[in-house]
Structure 1
Amino acid sequence: MSALAYSVVNDADPTAPLLILGPSLGTHASQWAGAAYFLADDYRVVLADLPGHGRGKRLDDVSVERIAQGILEIADELGAETFSFAGISISGAVALTLALRAPERLVGVGALCTGASFGGPERWNERIENVRALGSLRPTVPETADRWFAAGFLDEDQAAGAIVLEQLAETDPEAYIDCCRALADYDLTGEVADISVPVLFLAGSQDMGNTPESMRELSAQVEGSEFTVVPDSAHLPIVEHPEIVAEALAAFLSRAAQKRR
């Protein structure tokens, strides 16, 4: 049984290709809902939560490698010898890890708004200390909103952004800290060039953390990878422009499947 909680968006056709989607730190996999429903016509779409986030239970010794193993366990449970995976931010790190550790299982991966490392232990230890001092993630919401969403998005008449920010506010601080530690230890800087699986690197045009420039440089290290930028978006283009992300992923995965044949 997989250590990760998950739900299947479209289980009507068990022979359809499997696509597993992973969320960003401090949120639920449901942040993929808009894109998932665009993709569900052609895929068995699975939304997988991070440990201790959403419906997920906390795990001992959380690491990006352990989360990647949980994704493989989901595919096993659903009877898929091969599958595709797309993840954003920390789950983008999971995508790259899967591409390196289990290439034979993957049709293709989408690595969204991510990197080969996330700044190292000092950055994350500081964040951990801050969260512990606050005792809750709710006070971090205003600053996080400025990083996650492009200017003006939250002023639009829609609930998607507010829902994701409320997910952050309600996330168990200890589960969040578990994943911060995982990011502190994560570093694929010397390995990315070894990836042989088709990869789509996707950036938000206004992402201040994983900038389009850094994502383009990352893509340049992986032979045959693809790169695209979602306009008018920051760190969470799957929330801001789910239809654009879904279209980019669907087109990429179609090409990846043809290469595998």
Structure 2
Amino acid sequence: MTAFEVSHPDGRGTPIVMIHGVGDSLQSWEEVAGRLDADRPLVRYTLRGHGERGHNAPPPYEMSDFVADLIALLDELGFPRAILAGFSLGGLIAQAATLAHPDRVAGLIVVGSVANRSEAEQQRVLERFREVTASGPLAVARQSVDRWYTPAYLARHPEAREQTLGRMAQLEPECYAAAYRVLATSDFAEHLGAITAPVLAIAGDGDVGSPPHMSKFLARRVQRGSAIVVPGVKHQLLQETPDTIAKEIDQFVRTQEL
């Protein structure tokens, strides 16, 4: 069973389901969730492959598995429709779920996610996947923390580095690699025009793995999209700028009357 947490279960608005990134946990959305309007249920859950050691579904994983887990969670909670908010891999899962189950998605929010990788960008993420497979999540994280966080944030929060490395050290290497493969090989650029739900795409201006041009592309290709670029931040927008992300989500939900 998927581990999840629900805030404001008695809220009357359309639920927001928050999907974390690869190697992360439902806690990654905690700071944002705590700042959102309390007028609707807020759901955070753990992706397959990211639970306690020995309790994960065995690899391999496909995108369809992540989508099926999400829809099963909506069914378990009795939500016929939801707003999906996905970070990084979570943003790809949200896109895939919206394409496969448009009747279940009232709105789509993607943060630091992927769309229309260039050939060079595709080669770089596949190289990182090979490093993940060969060296494991902790070794890759040691090389990547400075790519995820800004120097200013790490200077103010020196504990963030060790907390990130500690979290990555707890992952099962085979499960992490299986989830990372889905991140590295998924791109829905050719299908985005079929998305009719309103879409908000958010990127950090210094994100090199999911750069702003991807969010802008996604917003242009869907039928009702907008893009926001947050200045002075890299990939970890949820942790570095939760006030901004929460404000943009609340405004999007109100504007779209979701």
**Which residue of 1 is the match for residue 73 of structure 2?**
74
How many residues in Structure 1 have an aligned counterpart in Structure 2? 254
**Which residue of 1 is the match for residue 257 of structure 2?**
257
- CA gap of 1:196–1:238, structure 2 versus 1, over 3 A, is same
* RMSD (CA atoms): 2.4
Residue of structure 2 aligned with 1:36, choices 33, 36, 45? 33
Q: Is the 8 A contact 1:149 1:235 kept in 2?
A: yes
**Which residue of 2 is the match for residue 7 of structure 1?**
5
Using the aligned pairs only, state the percent identity.
26
- What CA distance in whole angstroms lies between the structure 2 residues aligned with 1:141 and 1:121? 19
Cα distance, 1:76 vs structure 2: 0.9
**Which residue of 2 is the match for residue 133 of structure 1?**
134
SS of structure 1 residue aligned to 2:209:
coil
- CA gap of 1:154–1:58, structure 2 versus 1, over 3 A, is farther
SS of structure 1 residue aligned to 2:151:
coil
- What CA distance in whole angstroms lies between the structure 1 residues aligned with 2:160 and 2:12? 31
TM-score, length of structure 1 as denominator length: 0.87
- What CA distance in whole angstroms lies between the structure 2 residues aligned with 1:227 and 1:110? 10
- What CA distance in whole angstroms lies between the structure 2 residues aligned with 1:137 and 1:255? 40
- What CA distance in whole angstroms lies between the structure 1 residues aligned with 2:244 and 2:184? 31
1:110-149 equivalence runs, <5 A: 110-116=109-115, 126-134=127-135, 136-149=136-149
- CA gap of 1:175–1:121, structure 2 versus 1, over 3 A, is farther
Cα distance, 1:37 vs structure 2: 1.0
SS of structure 1 residue aligned to 2:35:
helix
Range moving further from structure 2, 36-45 or 22-31: 36-45
**Which residue of 2 is the match for residue 90 of structure 1?**
89
- What CA distance in whole angstroms lies between the structure 1 residues aligned with 2:19 and 2:63? 12
Cα distance, 1:139 vs structure 2: 2.1
**Which residue of 1 is the match for residue 248 of structure 2?**
248
Residue ranges of structure 2 left out of the alignment (5+ in a row): none
Q: What is the CA deviation profile of residues 21-74 of structure 1, one whole-angstrom value per residue up to 9, with x for unaligned ones?
A: 111111111011100111261221111112121457234441222212211111
- What CA distance in whole angstroms lies between the structure 1 residues aligned with 2:44 and 2:167? 15
Q: Is the 8 A contact 1:108 1:257 kept in 2?
A: no
TM-score, length of structure 2 as denominator length: 0.88
Cα distance, 1:178 vs structure 2: 1.0
1:83-232 equivalence runs, <5 A: 83-116=82-115, 126-134=127-135, 136-157=136-157, 159=159, 162-232=162-232
- What CA distance in whole angstroms lies between the structure 2 residues aligned with 1:99 and 1:132? 29
